[in-house]
Amino acid sequence: MKPPVIAPCLGVPDTQATVDFYEKLGFTALPASDDPSDDLRILLFEGEFALMVYRDEQLRDWLPVLKDTPVGAFGMFYLAVDDLDAYIERIRPLVTVQKEAEHEGAKLFYFTDLNGYVIGVNQKRTR
């Protein structure tokens, strides 16, 4: 697995609940280390790195500058999929839809995960 240039790491109150949520959406979770006390997970989408989730308490201990930052902080992430319409149809009953739009001819679908993070789904581009 080739690591991305930027790797999002989201602080979440319940790592297992978050993993369970994303697995329903087609992601695969891996432990990030061999240390069982380290509640950090890597999430893959279609075999490729997508993001990491880390128990918020441990993330705040690791980087104290984040101690007052709320879970679900301002911002969003994008997920590129091979078949946008099929993926939206599959996950629609599992998520809270925030917006559906078209921009410059491209269809976009936004939902929030159980921690308040906004995920925008778009068609994977070849260029």
Question: What is the CATH number for 44?
Answer: 3.10.180.10
Q: Show contacts of 83-90: CB within 8 Å, 24+ apart.
A: 84/109, 84/121, 84/122, 84/123, 87/26, 87/121, 88/121, 90/26
Residue 54 lies in a domain: yes
Residue 109 lies in a domain: yes
Domain count across the chain: 1
pTM value is 0.77
pLDDT tens for residues 34-53?
A: 887 888 899 999 999 999 89
Lookup: tokens for 85: 């319409």
pLDDT computed for residue 34 by the predictor: 82
Residue 4 lies in a domain: no
Residue 1 lies in a domain: no
Q: What is the residue range of 40's domain?
A: 9-123
pLDDT computed for residue 2 by the predictor: 63
pLDDT computed for residue 1 by the predictor: 61
pLDDT computed for residue 87 by the predictor: 96
pLDDT computed for residue 118 by the predictor: 85
